[in-house]
A and B are shown apart, each in its own frame.
Chain A
Amino acid sequence: MSQTDPLQEFQIAVDSYVSDSLSTYNPEKHAKEKSIRDALWGTSRFSPWEVAILDSPLLQRLRDIRQTGLAYLVYPTALHNRFDHTLGVVTVASRIVRSINDKHPPGDPKIQYGDHMRIRLSALLHDVGHSSLSHVSETIYGASEAFAGLLRRVNENLGVTPKPHEVMSWLVVRSSPFASFMERLKSKGILTGWDFTTADMEAIAGNIIGYRKDPAQKFQADIVNGPMDADKLDYLARDAYFAGPTVVYDLERFLHTVDAIEYPHEQAGGGMDGKIVRLSIPIQGATALEQIIISKLMLYSYLYHHQKIRCVEGMYHEVLKRCVPAPGQKGKRPKGKRSRLPFLDHPVSFLKASDRSFLPDAWPPEVEGDKVAGEIISMLTRRELYKRALIISRLFISGVDTDERVRSGFEKLLECGGDTSARDSLRQAIVDQSKKLMTTKPFKDEMKELRAKLEIRHVLLDIPGSPTVEETDGVMIHVGAEAGADHHGWVPLIDIFPIEKWVDAYNAIKWRAHIFTLEEATRFVNYATLKVLASEPYFLQFTGQATDLCKIANPIPFSTAKPLF
């Protein structure tokens, strides 16, 4: 039996999507460049060919994909979208290019005009692979078996480990219909002024996943997707600005110091005698980079790991899970889940979705078809959210510093963060114990209705990962000759700014996992969770704060010595 190459399979599906998207789009030539105002970066100019791409359905879809998903339910002004962010990334990418060129002789720019345009094109297209509510849907299609196969193949071929939406964007940009579209822009006289050919498309797409075949050009990919790329510089500033928390970093200082630098590269495997050119900064600019990393950690605390945002995302996941085939049920909508919601039978189908594909535009929200999805969507739309039933923090686990068994148990619990089936087993055990508690004497009659209602979808177990700080091993800092011959004058940032210590501290103090459930079930789910996690294989006992901080009305006291049942 012949096996389909996952890359080929996905590329065919994406080609079809791009072809459909562009089939009715007739780009027009704008007489001159367009000035677009942005709340963050002010006025930026876009060429006629960029405007033609911005006006295409591929980019316009991004107007309906919120940058920070459902965070607006917590930070009401976090309504910015992927389209806004895209414009920002193009602007920042150009600022990086100009800053680099400023450090080189005017007649011999490090980045030629054509390469500058190719970088802008990559920045313009870097997020076209996103789907509904950005990273919220990415965790669903990215976890599918088909997508895992694609990521493995991309890794084998190119040695990169991109995020799912980056791979989707890469597939869009390297698709034949998109190359034809670019040719069309050229033949219509819209794309002029630089030496574009469709042979450039692989390099333009490569920038999006941080890949350049030629080590001498690697810094160009770094501007779009690298440890200190335009994407990060925009989203950190934009997410903070629109959500509201004050998070600042010194962009001017960063731009003042950033450069494209050649240094020895042991893994280059040929080309330039083992040298590579990457974005880098001298030691004088390291503080600006440290600020960027700290800003990122702050935003994890304020935004990305905010308990309420994690809760609404968990609720939304329950909706999305009903719109994809159940594991092992390829191509089939799960039984009994008739719905007006789209059925996304392949990861590429997500490219056809945006926020309004799942969220109702009418008020009051209409609930039809799939009752379960309808109930959750209705709750989200009305902002009737699940509540915390338990806070899991290293600070609230007794004996984690002294008892080996507790450490192993905590490790077992953390494993559930990425293991869906282990997590669902634990959720089911909590539901079962909650229901059992509701059958005990004081609650039996009163809780009949809730006992009948409570299902696994009403109990969310959210275990976030640690913040990722890829900047530390990816950025080389020029420390000069005094650093000694061992380093050839270069050291990785991690050697002078050990971010792992910050992440350790973040994990010890700020990191929290949660159990969320229906408000009326919190006291039962709290008790049940404490009981389940006190047993084998977890052996975890929590201090009172783990419950107290949830502000549960009338919690049921739990004691391992005297359990209620």
Chain B
Amino acid sequence: MSARAGELGGVRRLLLALLVDLAKDKNYVNFTGAHRRLHEFFWQLKTTPKYAPFVEDFLFDTNGNYPHAEQLDELLQELQLSGVLSRRNPTYRYNDIGISTNPSADEFKAALSSEQLAAYNEILHQFKETLGVRAT
């Protein structure tokens, strides 16, 4: 059984921080809802030593069609349920972000060392580039 999303304190706060920072960037309107791309992005982090500590609680099943972390699905569903994320009819292709600030995200970033903050900023850059949808 995967850990319930609530047990994923670190990675939950990482995701909230990424969402808040993406929402603040006027160059982006939302990010992809493509299941595979989302899982592959976090798998990439998990397999990169510099970024792995940020997502160490995610356990990926690598025996399927693509690396898949059930906890990521649960986390995204919870964020959707709370309204932090939403998907619009009729395509549901993109995740809109419903917050521009979040105390947990602030706490997460404040607790990072300068080295960790640099790694976080690289992750944020990749998150935007890989999954973000640019404003046209």
B51 at the interface (CB under 8 A from A): no
Chain B nearest Cβ from A267, distance in angstroms: 6
A407 at the interface (CB under 8 A from B): yes
- Cβ A161 vs Cβ B82 within 8 A: no
Q: When the two chains form the complex, which single residue of B5, B35, B39, B64 contacts A500, counting CB atoms closer than 8 Å? A: B35
Q: Residue-by-residue, is A148-159 near B (CB-CB < 8 Å gives 1, otherwise 0)? A: 100110010011
B74, B83, B104 — most chain A CB neighbours (10 Å): B83
Q: When the two chains form the complex, which single residue of A161, A267, A411 contacts B79, counting CB atoms closer than 8 Å? A: A411
In the complex, what distance in Å separates the CA atom of A412 from the CA atom of B107?
A: 13
Report chain A residues within 8 Å CB of B101.
Answer: 404, 408
In the complex, what residue of chain A is closest to B6 when comparing beta carbons?
A418
In the complex, what residue of chain B is closest to A218 when comparing beta carbons?
B63
- Cβ A507 vs Cβ B80 within 8 A: yes
A residues apposed to B, CB below 8 Å: 138-139, 142, 148, 151-152, 155, 158-164, 210-211, 218, 265-267, 394, 400-401, 404, 406-408, 410-419, 422-423, 463, 465-466, 468, 470, 472-474, 476, 492, 494, 498, 500-501, 503-504, 507-508, 511, 537
28 sampled A-B residue pairs with Cβ under 8 A: A151-B1, A155-B60, A161-B59, A161-B70, A164-B1, A267-B66, A267-B67, A407-B84, A408-B103, A408-B104, A411-B79, A411-B82, A415-B12, A415-B104, A418-B4, A419-B7, A465-B4, A465-B78, A468-B73, A470-B68, A473-B36, A474-B65, A492-B35, A492-B36, A500-B33, A500-B35, A500-B87, A501-B92
B residues apposed to A, CB below 8 Å: 1-9, 12, 16, 33, 35-36, 39, 59-70, 73-74, 77-84, 87, 92, 98-104
In the complex, what residue of chain A is closest to B8 when comparing beta carbons?
A418
- Cβ B92 vs Cβ A500 within 8 A: yes
Report chain B residues within 8 Å CB of A503.
Answer: 77
Chain A nearest Cβ from B133, distance in angstroms: 17
Given contacts A492-B36, A504-B80, contact A417 B5 (CB under 8 A): yes
In the complex, what distance in Å separates the CA atom of A466 from the CA atom of B5?
A: 10
- Cβ B63 vs Cβ A160 within 8 A: yes
In the complex, what distance in Å separates the CA atom of A155 from the CA atom of B70?
A: 13
In the complex, what distance in Å separates the CA atom of A155 from the CA atom of B79?
A: 26
In the complex, what distance in Å separates the CA atom of A242 from the CA atom of B106?
A: 49
Closest 8 CB pairs of A and B: A418-B6, A418-B4, A159-B62, A466-B77, A411-B82, A419-B6, A407-B83, A410-B82
- Cβ B66 vs Cβ A266 within 8 A: yes
